Structure 1
Amino acid sequence: MSQDDWQGDWQGDVLRSLRGLTDGLDGLDRLGTPGEPADRRPAPEPPVPPAPAPAPVAEPVPRPLPTPVTMELPLPDELVKGKPLSGDSAARRTSRSLRRLVGSSATREVEEATRVAQALQQPLTTGRQIVVTSIRGGAGKTTVTALLGRTYAHYRQDPVLMLEADPALGTLPARLGVTKVRWTTSDLARILNPSMQLTDVVGYLVQLPDRGWLLPCGQGRVGNRLELEDYRAAMVALRRYFGITVVDCETLPAEVSRTALVAAQARVLVTPATAEGVTSTRAVLDWMASLGRPGMLAGTVVLVTASSPHMTTTLDVTAASEHLRLDGVRVMTLPYDRHLAAGGPIRTGLLGQDTHEAVTGLAAEVLTRAMGRRGPS
């Protein structure tokens, strides 16, 4: 190769090297600062990963609204021959009328009736809840609930509710003469809300004579249950609508019954006029005393009931009252009444005179104690 040829090739090689270096610098200028070494260029920031999607919040599952079922309830009257009996026999009614004509008993009866009526009509600032229960079935607690509810509804202007909390085929609707039930205590516990008015609430209840309303627990079927949660929800919600609520509770020591005793403003323990009934009820009073709740016993009335005309003659009522009178507990009696003993709907006009006086006196005493006051013990 000649020198000229080598020189030409050499110059081409230099030009090609320069051209490649220039191209590389141009690329560096595009990536960083012109003339800055490659190892001093700032590293590109890593890509920011997308924020994870928030976990979905589980919404509470609403309890389904109950489907009401209208039930036809047979009345015991349909199974009994003849007309309903009057509480007093004809001879007893005649004897009472004669005593009024020849004595001063009529004046005393009017004075006592006036005193009782005033106690029954005392004003209420908040709703009062009265619980009726017993230690054993057949004592007459449902009958007493119906009698108290009817008495308050008759004497008072504010609405009165009779609530059944006995799911074991309770008989309160039958005692009140109700033949159809639709909504129950458990149903209403799922429906009530603070925005409802009284006119909305009573649409789910059974209307009774006077200003009385009924909320049954069952529908005449075996197997119905009343959960403690439903009972509490119903009682808390209904208190703002009714001046007085009388609760027919299942027998002790059921959970709902025990809770109702503690939460009520007043309570009635119904016991049959037997030695076993009295001793069992005393055990309940001792249990209540052990709870250490001030005023609980003072708001309690024990009612000794006679389901036959001879019960009060075989039981020493005075000794039984002393055995049950504990820390302010009032002991009262409900005499035997032919009309009540026959069962079926209670017709207050057919009650015996002694029964009528005992019931109104009981209602006045219980309401007074529900207001935090005490009558004669």
Structure 2
Amino acid sequence: MTGPYPDPYFSEESTDSTAHPAQPRYPYQDTADEQGLPPLRPDPAYPPLPQPSGSRRAAAHAQNPVRVPKRPPRSGWRRALYLGSGKLVNPGESPVERYERELTLRVNQPLRGCFKIAMLSLKGGVGKTTVTTILGSAFALLRGDRVVAVDANPDRGTLSQKIPIETTATVRHLLRDADKITRYSDVRAYTSQGAGRLEILASEQDPAVSEAFSEDDYLRTINLLEHYYSIVLTDCGTGLMHSAMKGVLDLADALVIVSSSSVDGARSASATIDWLEAHGYGDLVKRSVAVINSVRPRAGSVDLDKLAAHFAARTRAVCRIPFDPHLEEGAEIELERISDDTRMALLELAATVADAFPLKPF
């Protein structure tokens, strides 16, 4: 026996001619039928193989009796010792490296269908569009899936300004030509892609265009995109009453509520949760993730631990993103310029959101 489960064709016990003489073991009933054998009965000595659940990869690794060699360290004194000894001394990964690898496994867990994330905040200036961009980029880079962010802000959203602009096309152009789109390359002509492989579908930038982005427009947009993308993030406007918001919330699989680390930002985020619960979206709130985004170098007199505890009592999880000078610039985001602390916080956020992915059937 070479693995953690019994081999359905052969086992050490089956080498004994007296073992289970009246119960030939075949893995499938149709094989038994072809051999003219009686119907199979469950053998208590060989129970059905258990199906992994929860953290499937972790469970499989935990049950594997084969000794797995230590992973070589990637940085710090451990790396120096490993290379200095000619790779003879391997102290293994540091706790931080192990934690980072565990987060990456959570981000990369299987995903069934298209997962739709609504990014929400009642208050402007809290970094919601920035969080949308870096979260989408994390998913696109780590998973390798097609990931797109849709600018659903009716008031000239700035999502398209976070990456280099490759096209002037907007969601309006996509909807106009929807009947002509039959493959991914057709959709790609309407999006811009950043260095992190995140694609962005821009909103209308012309202030002379008075037609609002309606609920029907949003539903048509998502119905088209979900055929070509694994993850769709929607960067919502600050108003909860504009026409597209009902469609956004009704289709969302997860909600990310962004707050700044200031008192007024926290109050606005709390008011957002109040409004959602009062309008029948209590279940969505329970599946939501609150993000405390430090848009200033210091939080002043605000107790971030108390702020996190407040949101933790009302949402599924709370993540913090520290102040980052590059993100504070408000210009195009270059991922390589993000600090290590921000990069780790972003990985934690992506893993937390990914925990809500629906389980892929085996």
Please indicate, yes or no, whether the TM-score normalized by the shorter chain is above 0.5: yes
1:306 paired to 2:294: yes
Pairs within 5 Å for 1:288-299: 288-293=276-281, 295-299=283-287
Tell whether the 8 Å contact from 2:215 to 2:245 is kept in structure 1 after alignment. Answer: no
Structure 1 equivalent of residue 227 of structure 2: 240
Structure 1 equivalent of residue 194 of structure 2: 208
1:352 paired to 2:327: no
Aligned mates of 1:333, 1:297 — CA distance in 2: 18
Amino acid aligned to 1:301: V
Tell whether the 8 Å contact from 1:132 to 1:246 is kept in structure 2 after alignment. Answer: yes
1:252, CA displacement in angstroms?
2.8
Pairs within 5 Å for 1:254-293: 254-255=241-242, 256-293=244-281
Amino acid aligned to 1:184: T
Higher helix share: 1
Aligned mates of 1:149, 1:114 — CA distance in 2: 19
Structure 2 equivalent of residue 29 of structure 1: none
1:167 paired to 2:151: no
Tell whether the 8 Å contact from 2:103 to 2:351 is kept in structure 1 after alignment. Answer: yes
Pairs within 5 Å for 1:177-192: 177-178=164-165, 180-192=166-178
Tell whether the 8 Å contact from 1:274 to 1:315 is kept in structure 2 after alignment. Answer: yes
Deviations 1:318-375 (A, max 9, x none): 21122222454312111111111122111111111110011111112112224379xx
Q: 1:328 to 1:108 in 2, by over 3 A?
A: same
Tell whether the 8 Å contact from 1:130 to 1:265 is kept in structure 2 after alignment. Answer: yes
Q: Secondary structure at the match of 2:102?
A: helix
Pairs within 5 Å for 1:330-369: 330-369=317-356
292, 302, 308: which one aligns with 1:321: 308
Structure 2 equivalent of residue 41 of structure 1: none
Q: 1:266 to 1:304 in 2, by over 3 A?
A: same
Aligned mates of 2:268, 2:359 — CA distance in 1: 26
Q: 1:294 to 1:271 in 2, by over 3 A?
A: closer
Tell whether the 8 Å contact from 1:121 to 1:155 is kept in structure 2 after alignment. Answer: yes
Aligned mates of 2:287, 2:322 — CA distance in 1: 22
1:206, CA displacement in angstroms?
2.1
Q: 1:98 to 1:167 in 2, by over 3 A?
A: farther
TM-score by length of 1: 0.66
Tell whether the 8 Å contact from 2:285 to 2:314 is kept in structure 1 after alignment. Answer: yes
Q: Secondary structure at the match of 1:119?
A: helix
How many matched pairs?
Answer: 275
Aligned mates of 1:142, 1:242 — CA distance in 2: 20
Amino acid aligned to 1:135: L
Tell whether the 8 Å contact from 1:168 to 1:223 is kept in structure 2 after alignment. Answer: no
Amino acid aligned to 2:289: V
Aligned mates of 1:105, 1:320 — CA distance in 2: 37
Tell whether the 8 Å contact from 1:285 to 1:326 is kept in structure 2 after alignment. Answer: no
Q: 1:176 to 1:195 in 2, by over 3 A?
A: closer
Aligned mates of 1:266, 1:131 — CA distance in 2: 6
107, 111, 114: which one aligns with 2:94: 107
1:293, CA displacement in angstroms?
4.7
Tell whether the 8 Å contact from 2:116 to 2:231 is kept in structure 1 after alignment. Answer: yes
Pairs within 5 Å for 1:27-176: 107-176=94-163
Tell whether the 8 Å contact from 2:163 to 2:192 is kept in structure 1 after alignment. Answer: no
Amino acid aligned to 2:255: R
Q: 1:274 to 1:101 in 2, by over 3 A?
A: farther
Aligned mates of 1:99, 1:221 — CA distance in 2: 56
1:262, CA displacement in angstroms?
3.5
Amino acid aligned to 1:318: D
Tell whether the 8 Å contact from 1:166 to 1:250 is kept in structure 2 after alignment. Answer: yes
Aligned mates of 1:350, 1:297 — CA distance in 2: 33
Tell whether the 8 Å contact from 1:132 to 1:269 is kept in structure 2 after alignment. Answer: yes
Aligned mates of 1:293, 1:221 — CA distance in 2: 32
Unaligned runs of 5+ in 1: 1-95
| Runs of 4 or more consecutive aligned structure 1 residues displaced over 4 Å after TM superposition | 96-102, 220-224
TM-score by length of 2: 0.69
Aligned mates of 1:164, 1:195 — CA distance in 2: 20
Tell whether the 8 Å contact from 1:168 to 1:222 is kept in structure 2 after alignment. Answer: no
